[in-house]
Structure 1
C-alpha cells in the first residue's frame, strides 16, 4: 500500500505579502520560542528503529515531543503536536508511518509521515486517553487501548475520512490494565493484548464488529503458584497460524493455542465466519456513517471462559434494511437492545469453538530464570530481552538458537529491528573470532538483522553484525533532572539528575563533553557556575555543597560543605564570586565568603532563618551608594530580607531590617529590573495573583503594579534575558509557570500582546536558564528526565506587540 503524504498547507499571508510573493522570507515562519533539541528521553517507552537498509535513524519520546534522530549525522527532527506527555507509540512494518498518542485533557492520536515529519491524520479528544497502540501489517488499520478505566479497545481505518473507529468495545475492569497490544502480522483481523494477569485475544470484522476471548491463566492452569508463574509482560504471534506466546517476570513463556484440535481447524478454517485479510481489504472503502460513539454505546460484554462476546457490533443483518442500489455502500448502526444482544450471544456460542482466537494456555516453558521484559519476533525467530540485559533468540519451537549477554546496558526496555527491502544486499562481514564448529549436527550459521536496544538505564544501543558488535548511541539520565546551568561566556550546558550524574554538553555542536557519576544515593538539586566559570557549585538533597571543576566535573574540595540540614533549593554567586549563598528547604539561608589565602576556597560565614515559610528566590545585587554586594531573599511569608555582608563575620551572618512587601498575595519570584529602562533602581516581583510589582531597591516602596501573564497558573520563576544586541534598547523577561515557558516584553505595560507562552513540560517545569548571549532557553522537566533547548526570537514578539489590538476587516 502506498499513500501519498498531504502537501503542507500554505502559510497565511496578508494583502501586503501577496504583492511580494517572490521575496518570501524565512522569517515569516519564525516562532517566538521554538524547540531546537531534546536532551534525554522517556526510558519507559519503546525506542523505535526507523532504519531502512543501511540508514541509521531511530525514534524516541521526550516528554510531549517525538524525536526522529539520525544518529549517523547527529540530527534531530522534532514532532510537536501533543499537549500531554506521550504515553505510547508504534511504527508500521515499512517504517513509513509513525503513531504517537497521549492521555489527559485534550488528548490526541497522531499518525506521522516519517519522511516529511508532517502529521497525516489526527484524532482529537479520544475517550479515556490512549495507553497502547499498534499498526496492522499493511499499516491500514490502527488498534488502540485507552489508558484510563474503563478501557476501550478500538479499531481505526486511519486512511479513510472520519474521526470515529470502525468498531470498539469496553473491557471489564476485572482484566486490570491492558498495557501491551499487537496485531497478528499475517492476519489483520486478529490481535492480542495483555495486562500483568490476563491475556485477551481479539477478532474483528466489518460485519460482526469486535469479539474478544479471555482464557483463564491462574495457579490451577499449570498447577503453579503465582509466585513461580510470575506476571505477564508482552505477547507475540508465532508463525504457526494459531499460536501465541507470552513472557513472564519469572523467565517463563506461556504458549497459547486453539481449544479445538488441529484437524477441526483445518476443516473449518474456510468457514464464512472467519474473515480473511484479503476479503477485509476489499471492504476497506466502506465507511460506517451515522455512528454515535459514546460511552453509552460501549456496553460491557457478556463473557465466559470459553469465549467472550462482542459488546459492539455492526450486524450483517442490517444490510437488508439498506437500499441495495446504494452506490456508497454505507452501513447504519443498529441501537443496542436486549433481543439483538441475545442473538449475537447465541451466534457466537455456536461458532466460538471454531474461532482461531478462542485459545487456551497449552504449555509453560522455562527458557531462563530472569524476568522477560521484552518479547519480539524477526523472520522466524522469537527474541527476548531480560532484566539482566541478555538477548536470546529462539526458533518457532522455542529452542534456543543464540544469546548475547555481554552488552551490559541494563534491563532491556525495547528491541526494534532494521527494515530491509527485497533488493538490498547487506555487505558480507567476516567474523575474525569465529571458531570451528565442533558439533556433529549441521546447522546454518546464525544471522539476524541489525537492531536497536533501549534499557531502563536510559541507554540506547545499535547492534550490528548479527549481534557481534554494539555501539552506544545515547546514554542519558535515567532519573529526574532538576538542576541545570549554562556557561557564562561559552556554548556549554551542565545538568544533573537525581542519581548524582553530571553531564556537560556543547549545545551548539550537540556533543557531550563530560559525564561524571557522583554519589548514587544523593540527588543533585541545584547547579551554578561562578562568574568566570572556574568551577560549578553543586547542591544536594541532603544539604551538602561541593565545588566541581568546570570541565572535568570532579570535586575540587577535600570534603563537601555540610552546614545545611535540608535540600539546597537555590545557589547564587555574587558578581565577582566573593560570596556564595544557598537557600535550603528548611527556610534557612547559608552564606560563604571567598578565601584566597587558604586551600579552602570558601569559608562558611553562617546560616540564618529569616523566613517562616519557603524561600521563593535568592539573588545578589549592588548597593546604590558604594556598589558593595548585597544579598536579598524573598519568601512565601511575604517578607523581603536583606543580609549585610560587610558587617558579617565568621559564625555571624548580619541581617538588615526585613520588609513586608505583600499583604494577601504570595510572592513567587523576583529579580532586578533592567537599569537601561529607568533612572531608578527597581526590584520586580511577581505574585500568585498574576501581577508584576516594581519596588524601589532602596526604600522598598511599591512604585507600580501591572497585570502579568495569565497562562493557567501563576509564574513561578522570572529572569532577565541577556541582550542579543548590546546596542538595542529592547529588554525581555523569561518566565516559567507550572507547565509553560514564556517571554515578556519590557517595559511592563499590562498589554497581553507583550507576552506569550508555550507548553514546555506537561507535568511540571523544574527550572529554567538562559544562554549567555540570550539566543537559547533551557528547561528541565524533573520527573520526565528531559532537558529542552528552545531558540528565542524576540523580534517576533516585538512585531506581535506592535500589531496587537489592530483589527483587520
Structure 2
C-alpha cells in the first residue's frame, strides 16, 4: 500500500510549504510555470505581430508578455481565429454523457465546459459560441477544473494517451503529459485546492495513482502507488479541499483513503459490512431485492467533510460516514464504532453528492436536488426542475454582491448558481437567487445526419426517435419532431429539391415529411419489411424513393396520384437482390435521357441495377447484376463528376483502391490508390465545384473508420492530393456535405456527437503543391525513391522488354520508341514483384487502351516508363501481401493438425488451384512449383528440400511428388515460398469462426 517517493522540484520558484498554501502565490506560481510551456509559441506570435526578439548564444529574450499571463475572462471569446487547416471543427452538437458539465462563468457571461468525442468544448451560452480544445487523438475519458476555474485538464485512454492542461481564459494548452498511465490511460483526475497538484488515476490492470506537479518541467509524478485489484476498479478520485495531502477514490465496492503527509503515498481500503447494507435496504422507498446478493455495493462518488475528519459515501438513499483519523493509513485499521449511518436521507437513490459553501448537495435519480448543512439537517431544495437522473452538479465560483446581501437580510441559506446535467444529456443552469432555470443544452444521442440541398440546414436523428433540423449558419434549431410509435432513427435524407425529408427507422418503416413543417401528408408510415432501414435516397426528379434494409432487400416507392389531385407515395416493390449486406444505394440518370436509374452495391461484390421503367406495383425488376470485384469488398460508391467526356461510377473497396467504372458498360476503366489513413474509405461524397478562381476544381469528401478527409479530383493516386483528420476516435458512421461545399458534417458511431467541419480548399491545394509535380509524388512510393535501386531495376527491366520486342539491331540504330507494347505489361509487372490475376491484367489493358478513346476515338497500344510506374503504384496491393493473409487462407480452407497448425492435404491444394477462381493448368502449376522449389532443369542431380533428386526433364508428376502429403501454413510460407518472415513476427490472426 505504499508508493515510491521521488524528489519534487518546484517550477520557477523556491517557495516554502507555507508560501505554497497562500492562494495568491500559488496562482502566480501556476501561471509562471504555464508560461514556460507556451514560451516558444508566444515568441513566434510576437514575431508575427512585429515585436522584436533578441537572440543570444545562450538565451532568447521576449519583449512582449505571455498570452496566458495577460489573458482575462473576456479573452477567449473576444479573439478572432483564422483557419489554417484543411478541415477544422467549427461546432459540436452533443456531449459525452459520462463526463460532468462544469460551470466556468455565470456572472456577466454564462459559460460551461463539457466534452464531445475527442475535444473539450467551452460553450458561451450568452453569445451562442463555442471554443474547442483540440489536441487529443482518442476520445476524452475525463475532465477536471481547478477551484478558481482558471485551469482545465483533459485526458484520454487510448494508445499513446495524453493529458493536457489548458488555460480557460485564453484556450492555450500550457502543459502536455504523454503516457501518464501506460496501458490504460487516465480514467479520473483532480486538481488540489491550490491548483498546483494534479492527481491521476489510471485504467491499467493494476491501477496506479500518480500525483504531479504539473507546473514543473519534470514530466514524472513526484508520488505514486499501485492499487490492489481486490478493492475493485477505482473510477474517481479527489483531493481533500482543506488538506492536499489527503485524497479519496472509490469503486463499486470500496472507498480508498490516501495520505502522503509522511512523505510517501499510502492508502487504506474501506468496505461496509453486510448488516449495514441491510439497514440501507430497509430505508429505501423502493427496495432492491437483489442488493444483498450482488457482490458490488454500487457506491456513488464519495466526498470529504469540510470540517470534520470524515468521508461521506452515498449508498442508495443514505449517507455513510467514515471517521478517518490522521493515523488511519499507518495503522491500517478502522474500528467499527467509527462508521455511522444516516438512514433515509432521501426517498430515492442518490446519484450525485457534492459540497459547496458549507452545504452538502445531493442529486437523485428522480431529478431532485436537496441541500443539507454539516449535520445533515435539511436546508432547502430546488424544485420544479423537471429533470431525470442527475449526473453532475457544478457550482459557480462567481457571486453577485446583492445576492450575498439578500441572503443576509432574509436569513436564508447562501446557495450559488449552479449547472446540473442529467442522464438524458440535458443541461440546465439554475439561478439560485430567483430560482430561474435556463436550459443550456438538450442533446439527444445523435446517430444520423443529412444536409439540405439549397439551405444552410442539416437534419439529425437520434436513437430515441427525436428528429431536429439545425441552422448551421445561425447555430439554432429551426425544427424538431419526436416520433412516438416509430423510434430508433437509422437514416435521413432530403430530396434534391428540398421539399421532402425522408426518415428510415429500425422497425422497417419509412416516414416522408414536409421539410419545413416536419409533418406528413400521409398519416400512416410506409412499410414493406420489418428489417432495419439503413440506407435511403431520392431520385434526381424526386419521383422515386429507394431504401435498403438489413434483410438485404431494396424497396422502391413512387410518387403518384392515387385519387384526386393529391400526390401520394405508393409502394412499387421490394427485391432481395444481394446475399450479403448492402453497403450503398444510388440514384442516377441514364446517359442521354432523363430516365432515373437505381443501383445498389453489396458486400457480395455485386453491382445491381433496377429496371424502374418496366417495374409495376408489387414487382420491382432487375435490369442487370454484375460482379465487379474478385477479392476486394466494395464499401461505397458515387457518381464521378464530369471531368471528361466519359461518365464514370466511382467505387471504393476495402483494399484501399478506388475504381472508375464506365457508367454504361460497367467496364473498369481505371484503378487508383485511395487514401491510406489507417482504414479503408467507407463513404464518399462529391463536393460542389469550387467557385474560387484559383481553385476551380472538384473535390471529394470521405470518411473511414475514424477520420474525415478531402481528396482533390481528378483522381490519379497522388497521396499529396489527399488529407484527413481524426473526427470520431471511437468510429464515424455517416457523412454529409453542405450545399455550398463549405462544410462537412460527420456523426459518431458511438459518441453520439455531430461535428461541423469547415473546409479550407486553399490549404489542401497548397499542401498538394508541396508534394511536387508530375512524377515526383509517385517516385516516393518506390523503395529508395527516384535514386534508389528499385527504380534502377525497374528501368532496366523496361529496357530489357524493349530489347525483346524491337531487337538489339533496331536499338543500335536509335529508332526504338520510348514505349513498350501493352502485351509486355504483365511480364514487366511480375518482374518488379507484382503478380496480378488475369482479371487485373485485363483491367490494366483496358485502362491504357481506352485512356484517350473518348477524346480521340483511337486505342492506345503502348505505354512509356512513367505511365507504367503510375500503373504499378495504383494497381499493386497498398500494403503488399502479408504472411497473415496466407495463414488466414489456410485457416479457412484447411484443417487443424495435432499441433494446432492449419494444414492442407496436397491434393486439396492442387485441386483448389486447378478448379477454383482463375484456374491454372497442370503445366502452369508445374512451372510455378519447379521455380519455387529450385528444380533447375539443367542440373541432373539436385538435392531437393526433402532429400529427393531432380532429373534433367521434370515432369508434372515428378514436380508434384516433391510436395509433402500434408502442407502446413508454416511449410508453405517458408519452404515453398521461401519467406523468412514468421507468422508470429507479423502478428498471427485469429482463426475464423
TM-score category (smaller protein): 0.7 to 0.9
1:452-491 CA-to-partner distances (Å, cap 9, x unmatched) read 01111111101003472211111111x3x22211111011
Cα shift readout 1:125-163 (whole Å, capped 9, x = no counterpart): 222211111110000101111124221111111011121
Q: 264, 267, 288: which one pairs with 1:209? A: 264
Question: Which among 714, 719, 725 is matched to residue 680 of structure 2?
Answer: 714
666, 673, 692: which is aligned to 2:640? Answer: 673
**Counterpart contact for 2:352–2:363, Cα < 8 Å:** yes
Q: 2:663 aligns with which of 697, 712, 719?
A: 697
Partner of 2:248: 192
Report the Cα offset of residue 680 of structure 1: 0.2
Structure 2 Cα separation of the partners of residues 748 and 162 of structure 1: 48
Residue 420 of structure 2 aligns to a residue whose secondary structure is: strand
Match of 1:742 among 704, 709, 715: 709
Which residue in 2 is equivalent to 1:579? 544
Flag the 1:371–1:20 CA change in 2: closer, same or farther, 3 A: closer
CA distance in 2, matches of 1:414, 1:796: 41
Q: SS where residue 302 of structure 2 aligns?
A: strand
Is the Cα–Cα contact under 8 Å of residues 258 and 358 in structure 1 kept in the other structure? Answer: no
Corresponding residue number in structure 2 for 1:283: none
State the shift of 1:195 in Å.
Answer: 1.1
Q: Where do 5+ consecutive residues of structure 2 fail to align?
A: 1-26, 53-79, 282-287, 777-993
Deviations 1:569-610 (A, max 9, x none): 111111110111111111100011111454452111101111
Does the C-alpha gap of structure 1 residues 573 and 43 become closer, same or farther in structure 2, counting only changes over 3 Å?
same
Query: CA separation of 1:523/1:188 partners in 2, compared to 1, >3 Å: closer, same or farther?
Result: same
Q: Is residue 343 of structure 2 the alignment partner of residue 365 of structure 1? A: yes
1:247-326 alignment, distance < 5 Å? 247-248=314-315, 250-258=316-324
Are the equivalent residues in 2 in contact too, given 1:52–1:95 (CA < 8 A)? no
Indicate the SS of the match to 2:763.
helix
Once the two structures are TM-superposed, the CA of residue 626 in structure 1 deviates from its matched residue by 2.2
Partner residue, 1:61: 115
Q: 1:592 aligns with which of 557, 560, 565?
A: 557
For 2:40 and 2:667, how far apart are their aligned partners in 1? 53
Distance in 1 separating the partners of 2:129 and 2:277: 51
Q: Does structure 1 residue 181 correspond to structure 2 residue 260?
A: no
Is it true that 1:425 corresponds to 2:401 in the alignment?
yes
* Aligned residue in 2 for 1:317: none
Asked if 1:396 corresponds to 2:362, the answer is no
Contact 1:638 1:662 in 2 (8 A): yes
Q: 1:258 & 1:767 partners in 2: Cα distance? A: 52
Q: CA contact under 8 A between 1:221 and 1:361: conserved in structure 2?
A: no
Following the alignment from structure 2 to structure 1, what is the Cα–Cα distance between the partners of residues 271 and 559? 70
Q: Quick one: structure 1 residues 20 and 184, their matched pair in 2 at CA, closer, same or farther if it must change by over 3 Å?
A: closer
1:772-783 to 2 correspondences below 5 Å: 772-783=739-750
1:141 to 2:197 alignment: yes
| Equivalent position of 2:806 in the other structure | none
Q: Alpha-carbon deviations, 1:26-62, whole Å to 9, x = none?
A: 9986110000000111122100010164431100111
* Larger gyration radius, structure 1 or structure 2: 2
Aligned residue in 2 for 1:795: 762
In the TM superposition, what is the alpha-carbon distance from 1:361 to its structure 2 partner? 2.5
Aligned partners of 1:759, 1:520: CA distance in 2, in Å? 36
Kept in 1: contact 2:672–2:715 (CA 8 A): yes
Q: Indicate the residue corresponding to 1:458 in structure 2.
A: 425
Q: Which has the higher strand share?
A: 1
CA distance in 1, matches of 2:439, 2:81: 37
Matches within 5 A, 1:551-590: 551-590=516-555
Unaligned runs of 5+ in 1: 260-268, 275-306, 309-347, 432-441
- The structural deviation recorded for 1:496 is 0.5
How far residue 187 of structure 1 moved from its aligned partner, in angstroms, is 0.4
Which deviates the most, 47-56 or 85-94? Answer: 47-56
In 1, distance between residues paired with 2:668 and 2:43?
A: 44
**Structure-2 change in CA distance of 1:138 and 1:739 (3 Å):** same
Output the aligned Cα RMSD. 2.8
Q: Secondary structure of 2:230's match? A: helix
The alpha-carbon distance between structure 1 residues 234 and 642, as it changes in their structure 2 partners (threshold 3 A), is same
Instruction: Provide the residue aligned with 2:172 in structure 1.
Output: 118
Query: How far apart, CA to CA, are the structure 2 residues paired with 1:520 and 1:49?
Result: 37
CA-CA distance at 1:743 after TM superposition? 0.7
- Alignment of 1:240 with 2:307, yes or no, is yes
1:632, CA displacement in angstroms? 0.8
Candidates 135, 146, 153, aligned match of 1:99:
153
Q: Secondary structure at the match of 2:401?
A: coil
Q: 8 Å contact 2:280–2:318 — kept in the other structure?
A: no
Tell whether the 8 Å contact from 1:215 to 1:360 is kept in structure 2 after alignment: no
Structure 1 residues 571-650: aligned runs within 5 Å: 571-596=536-561, 598=563, 599=566, 601-650=568-617
Query: Structure 1: how far apart are the matches of 2:321 and 2:404?
Result: 36
Q: Is the 8 A contact 2:231 2:254 kept in 1?
A: yes
1:470 alignment counterpart: 437
Counterpart check, 1:508 vs 2:564? no
- CA distance 1:743–1:684, shift in 2 (3 Å): same
Residue 380 of structure 1 corresponds to which residue in structure 2? 358
Contact 1:578–1:594 under 8 Å retained in 2? yes
Q: Aligned residue pairs: how many?
A: 697
Which residue matches 1:84? 138
Structure 1 residue matching 2:132: 3-state secondary structure? strand
2:206 is aligned to 150
Residue 351 of structure 2: SS of its match in structure 1?
Answer: strand
2: distance between equivalents of 1:40 and 1:640?
36
SS of match in other structure, 2:767: helix
Match of 2:216 in 1: 160
Give the Å deviation of 1:220.
3.6
Match for residue 536 of structure 1 among 475, 493, 501: 501
Look up the SS of the partner of 1:155 in the other structure: strand
CA pair 222-631 structure 1, distance change in 2 beyond 3 A: closer
Residue deviations 1:230-270 (CA, integer Å, cap 9, x gap): 5211111112240121112x2110111136xxxxxxxxx7x
* Alpha carbons 2:447, 2:753 under 8 Å: kept: no
Cα pair distance change 1:80/1:731, threshold 3 Å? same
| Local SS of the residue matching 1:801 | helix
User: Which residue does the alignment assign to 2:458?
Assistant: 493
Distance 2:242 2:709 in 1: 49
Taking structure 1 as reference, are residues 40 and 467 closer, same or farther at Cα in structure 2, changes over 3 Å only?
A: farther
Higher RCO, Cα 8 Å, sep 6+: 1
TM-fit CA distance, 1:89: 0.8
- State whether residues 96 and 117 of structure 2, in contact with CA within 8 Å, keep that contact through their aligned partners in structure 1: yes
> C-alpha separation between the residues in 2 aligned to 1:443 and 1:204?
43
Q: Which residue does the alignment assign to 2:886?
A: none
1:627 match: secondary structure: coil
CA distance in 2, matches of 1:674, 1:213: 67
TM-score of the aligned structures, taking structure 1 as reference length: 0.82
SS of aligned partner of 1:45: coil
Distance 1:771 1:417, change over 3 A: same
Q: In 2 relative to 1, CA 383–199 (structure 1 residues): closer, same or farther, beyond 3 Å? A: same
